[in-house]
Chains A and B, each alone.
Chain A
Amino acid sequence: MFRLPIDSESFPLGKGPMVMLILFLISTLFIFGRSEEKGENLEFWIFANTHYEEYQARVPIFEAQNPGVNVQLINFGGTMHDKLLAAMLSNFGAPDLVEVEITSIGRFLKGAIDEVGFVDLRPRLESEGWMEKLVVSRFTPWSYRGRIYGIPHDLHPVVLLYRDDLFKAAGVEMTEVETWNDFIAAGKKATRDLDGDGEVDQYAIVLDRRTESDYFSLLLQQGGGFFDEEGNVIIDSELAIETLEFFTALFNEHKIATPVYGTWHGDPSNFAAMQDGKILSILAPDWYVGILKSQVPQMSGKWKAIGMPAWHPGGRRTTTRGGTMIGMTKQCENPDLAWEVLKFTYFDRPGLVNRYETTRIIPPLKSAWDAPIFKEPDVYLGGQPLGELFIRLAPDLPPRYQNPYWSEGADLLNDAIFAAVTGKQTPREALTDLAEKVRALIAKDVGRWGEM
């Protein structure tokens, strides 16, 4: 019989310490003893589950095409951006490739241009002719001071998703709505107290007054923004003030909007209100349609979509909300290989078609748009080919200029919107105060470090 060459009884201090020592040695072996896989290794960090699942299926194809290449996919979920920040601060441990969310990228752009932890991808994009193949306005969220730090994963055009049955019941044909003025007129008919108890039972639209999401989408549609291309604060421009006045009026003057139920549009509470027929329309980016399909499948066939109402006849019928980029970090030791992985995951047509199939996300690569899947009728929208609508709107996406102070600005913008909608400040006061605060913040940094 096999016997351990150690007598546990005679081990100093007995069995317990011996077991602890053995466990310690085993875990040390696991931590330090893992041999690197042979060949070229690349690390790719992801924060979104749906993206992770897509790459899990796609990356083995790339590895098969490139023997000796190992791409390690790591999904850190919501904490990924913090981990990336720590890795860049310590100049150690960052991945070769990483996906970054649109509201998080600003913090990585602070400081001198050479301190930014991402590789400028403009030279590669231009030399290989990719700029013309993608929707150019979609590079703006990932560019700063002339450099392009990321490739867009998506476009996220926004449409107006509406309950055709309930609008028709109120005598409104939504396909005839072209401008926001038309929408207000339609909304006043559709916002109703159905049982006569003095309380409104259905609202024409649900809007988020807690955060910048809906207001900022409307502002982008108007051609405005928080910062302009040069990084100037323009959130107190007349355009921004007019947009907030309009946004506020939807709640308080026209009374056709209800605040989002729960904490955001994807809250179960909001879905419950939709199912109860309390919400008749919503501004929906492509990814939100994917969420609706998976979270509220029982509403299949009840929604229809049109382009967003324009601010003026013939004006832009869409905006953009949300987004992800893929970037290459300066800690990447094999940029050429990383670039190949990047192109495979972001520019490969079969992969992009598969992405639309699972998430409804429209790719920024224009040559993929003629794939038959985008013209297919969408059962969830009663047979309407939603992909076709998104692609028709996509070339008209407004630019969204990125800035290192976006996070601070957005945090304060949330408060300004809430203050305006709840009547604590007028839209002009709220946005003027906000702009002053952000300008003061920037001026303080410029005073300390000088212009960067």
Chain B
Amino acid sequence: MGRNVIFSPKKVFMSKKRTTNLFWNQQQKIAPYLFIAPFYLLFVIFMGYPLVSSLVMSLYEMRGFQSRIFVGIGNFTDLFRDPIFWKSLRNTAYFAVGTLTLQLPIALLLAILLNSKFVKGKNFLRLAFFAPVLVAGVFVAIIFNLVYDQRAGLVNQEFVLFGKEIGWLNEEKYVMPAVILTGVWQWAGFNMIYFLAGLQGIRQELYEAAAVDGANWWQAFIHVTLPSLRPVIAFVFVVSMIGSLQLFDLPFILTNGGEPADAGSTIVMYLYKNGFQFMRLGYAATIGWVLFFIIAVISIVQLKLLGIFRDE
């Protein structure tokens, strides 16, 4: 036996109201996700999918345009036995260390100079030091090809060596120093801007208090400036390290593909060669993932050492 259903207009009204409220409540919850959806959609399509795809690709090897075969961790074991990979890794590490030990102190020094009261024409100098970063890496490499010119280059002739013919891009031992010096020219001004912003954010009272305590300039620098700059230094260190490990265009053009004897080869250059010149896409994807892990580990270690994860 069925129950008698009595039509009630009040009930219908209440139910409609509840549905509208429910929709409104849900809409409020959904709306933020809809607003950020474009970013995530693009991220998934252009970043997430290629990432997963390249990880899968690193477990395969390709030959030709269609043949691919599952090799498991074969590409990884091959890579760790590949002397050119290790040489490229050494060169990349050499550049990274050179960048951190040469470029960042120079950037900090420039920032301190431009932050002092004694330097005139600060705006012009800021622009001048920052300008090289506006030049594309390819053009920087072309310019420095002329600067390092063995016969008539600026470095060998008028500027430093007064006619001594050093094959900056021709002799193994000089290639990476040449690339590092070029990197300094291009990026020191850029990092200087970060340090300058950090220096301008340090409260003047700290220096005044240090002066009252009898601190000289050096002591104030060590005990006030550097600790206050710690977050900026950490940021610049990590970003510079990541940029250094991803080095490609500068040595590729400067050394005409890493020669002589792979002295200018870097990890990303070796990745490019394997992927595009040798058509070994699986191996190239493997190099990419190994580089990813190297960058991740080094960045975490750097941030830990610089105390970024520490609670203040």
Query: Which residues of A does B touch, CB under 8 Å?
Result: 81-82, 85, 88-89, 91, 104, 107, 110-112, 115-117, 209-211, 259-264, 267-270, 272-273, 276, 278, 404, 407-408, 411, 414-415, 418-419, 422, 445, 448-449, 452
A81 to B278, CA, bound (A): 12
A82 to chain B: which residues have CB within 8 Å? 276
Q: Take A263-B145, A263-B255, A414-B259 as given contacts and tell me if A408 and B278 are in contact as well, using a CB distance cutoff of 8 Å.
A: yes
Given contact pairs A85-B279, A262-B149, A448-B71, a sample of 4 additional A-B residue pairs in the complex whose CB atoms are under 8 Å apart: A89-B65, A104-B277, A259-B170, A262-B145
B281 to chain A: which residues have CB within 8 Å? 89
A112 to B63, CA, bound (A): 8
Q: Mark B136-158, 1 if CB is under 8 A from A, else 0.
A: 00000000011001111100000
Is A88 touching B63 in the complex (CB atoms < 8 A)? Answer: no
Is A262 touching B278 in the complex (CB atoms < 8 A)? Answer: no
Is A110 touching B145 in the complex (CB atoms < 8 A)? Answer: no
Is B278 touching A111 in the complex (CB atoms < 8 A)? Answer: no
B255 to chain A: which residues have CB within 8 Å? 263
Query: Which residues of B does A touch, CB under 8 Å?
Result: 61, 63-67, 69, 71, 145-146, 149-153, 167, 169-170, 255-256, 259-262, 273, 276-279, 281
Q: Take A211-B259, A263-B259, A448-B69 as given contacts and tell me if A268 and B149 are in contact as well, using a CB distance cutoff of 8 Å.
A: yes
A78 to B152, CA, bound (A): 27
Is A449 touching B150 in the complex (CB atoms < 8 A)? Answer: no
Is A259 touching B167 in the complex (CB atoms < 8 A)? Answer: yes
Q: Take A210-B256, A259-B167, A414-B260 as given contacts and tell me if A268 and B152 are in contact as well, using a CB distance cutoff of 8 Å.
A: yes
B67 to chain A: which residues have CB within 8 Å? 111-112, 115, 449
**Of listed A115, A269, A445, residue having the most chain B CB within 10 A:** A269
A263 to chain B: which residues have CB within 8 Å? 145, 169-170, 255-256, 259
A411 to chain B: which residues have CB within 8 Å? 273, 277-278
Name the residue on A nearest B70 (C-beta).
A448
Name the residue on B nearest A405 (C-beta).
B278
- Distance in Å: Cβ of B198 to nearest Cβ of chain A: 32
When the two chains form the complex, which single residue of B145, B262, B276 contacts A415, counting CB atoms closer than 8 Å?
B262
**Of listed A411, A422, A445, residue having the most chain B CB within 10 A:** A411
- Distance in Å: Cβ of A318 to nearest Cβ of chain B: 26
Is A261 touching B259 in the complex (CB atoms < 8 A)? Answer: no
Is B261 touching A269 in the complex (CB atoms < 8 A)? Answer: no
- Distance in Å: Cβ of A145 to nearest Cβ of chain B: 12
- Distance in Å: Cβ of B300 to nearest Cβ of chain A: 33
- Distance in Å: Cβ of A411 to nearest Cβ of chain B: 7
B152 to chain A: which residues have CB within 8 Å? 268-269, 272
Interchain Cβ contacts under 8 Å between A and B, 17 examples: A85-B276, A91-B65, A107-B276, A110-B63, A210-B260, A259-B170, A262-B169, A263-B256, A263-B259, A268-B146, A269-B152, A407-B278, A411-B273, A411-B278, A414-B261, A415-B261, A418-B261
When the two chains form the complex, which single residue of B63, B145, B146, B279 contacts A448, counting CB atoms closer than 8 Å?
B63
**Of listed A89, A116, A262, residue having the most chain B CB within 10 A:** A262
- Distance in Å: Cβ of A104 to nearest Cβ of chain B: 8
- Distance in Å: Cβ of A299 to nearest Cβ of chain B: 15
B279 to chain A: which residues have CB within 8 Å? 85, 107, 110, 404, 407
Is B261 touching A115 in the complex (CB atoms < 8 A)? Answer: no
Is B262 touching A111 in the complex (CB atoms < 8 A)? Answer: no
When the two chains form the complex, which single residue of B64, B260, B262, B276 contacts A112, counting CB atoms closer than 8 Å?
B64
B278 to chain A: which residues have CB within 8 Å? 107, 407-408, 411
A225 to B97, CA, bound (A): 41
- Distance in Å: Cβ of B67 to nearest Cβ of chain A: 5
Listed from nearest, the 5 A-B pairs whose CB atoms lie closest are: A111-B64, A115-B64, A263-B256, A272-B151, A210-B260
Is B63 touching A445 in the complex (CB atoms < 8 A)? Answer: yes
- Distance in Å: Cβ of A108 to nearest Cβ of chain B: 8
- Distance in Å: Cβ of A291 to nearest Cβ of chain B: 15
- Distance in Å: Cβ of B18 to nearest Cβ of chain A: 30
Q: Take A211-B259, A261-B151, A276-B151 as given contacts and tell me if A115 and B65 are in contact as well, using a CB distance cutoff of 8 Å.
A: yes
Is B260 touching A115 in the complex (CB atoms < 8 A)? Answer: no
Is B150 touching A262 in the complex (CB atoms < 8 A)? Answer: yes
Is B259 touching A448 in the complex (CB atoms < 8 A)? Answer: no
B65 to chain A: which residues have CB within 8 Å? 88-89, 91, 111, 115, 117
Is A449 touching B146 in the complex (CB atoms < 8 A)? Answer: no
B149 to chain A: which residues have CB within 8 Å? 261-262, 267-269, 272
Q: Take A107-B279, A272-B152 as given contacts and tell me if A419 and B61 are in contact as well, using a CB distance cutoff of 8 Å.
A: no
- Distance in Å: Cβ of A300 to nearest Cβ of chain B: 20
Q: Take A263-B256, A268-B152, A269-B151 as given contacts and tell me if A107 and B277 are in contact as well, using a CB distance cutoff of 8 Å.
A: yes
A113 to B150, CA, bound (A): 46
- Distance in Å: Cβ of B185 to nearest Cβ of chain A: 19
When the two chains form the complex, which single residue of A111, A278, A414 contacts B63, counting CB atoms closer than 8 Å?
A111
A268 to chain B: which residues have CB within 8 Å? 145-146, 149, 152
**Of listed B146, B152, B281, residue having the most chain A CB within 10 A:** B152
A88 to B152, CA, bound (A): 43
- Distance in Å: Cβ of B259 to nearest Cβ of chain A: 4
Is B256 touching A111 in the complex (CB atoms < 8 A)? Answer: no
- Distance in Å: Cβ of A165 to nearest Cβ of chain B: 20
A173 to B256, CA, bound (A): 36
A418 to chain B: which residues have CB within 8 Å? 259-261
B69 to chain A: which residues have CB within 8 Å? 448-449
Name the residue on A nearest B259 (C-beta).
A210
B61 to chain A: which residues have CB within 8 Å? 448
Is A449 touching B63 in the complex (CB atoms < 8 A)? Answer: yes
When the two chains form the complex, which single residue of B71, B146, B256, B273 contacts A264, counting CB atoms closer than 8 Å?
B256
A336 to B266, CA, bound (A): 45
A311 to B149, CA, bound (A): 34
B167 to chain A: which residues have CB within 8 Å? 259, 261
Is A111 touching B259 in the complex (CB atoms < 8 A)? Answer: no
A278 to B151, CA, bound (A): 10
A263 to B260, CA, bound (A): 9
Name the residue on B nearest A90 (C-beta).
B65
Name the residue on A nearest B149 (C-beta).
A269
Name the residue on B nearest A414 (C-beta).
B259
Name the residue on A nearest B277 (C-beta).
A407
A85 to B259, CA, bound (A): 24
A267 to B255, CA, bound (A): 11
Name the residue on A nearest B264 (C-beta).
A263
B150 to chain A: which residues have CB within 8 Å? 261-262, 269, 273
- Distance in Å: Cβ of B174 to nearest Cβ of chain A: 13
A273 to B151, CA, bound (A): 6
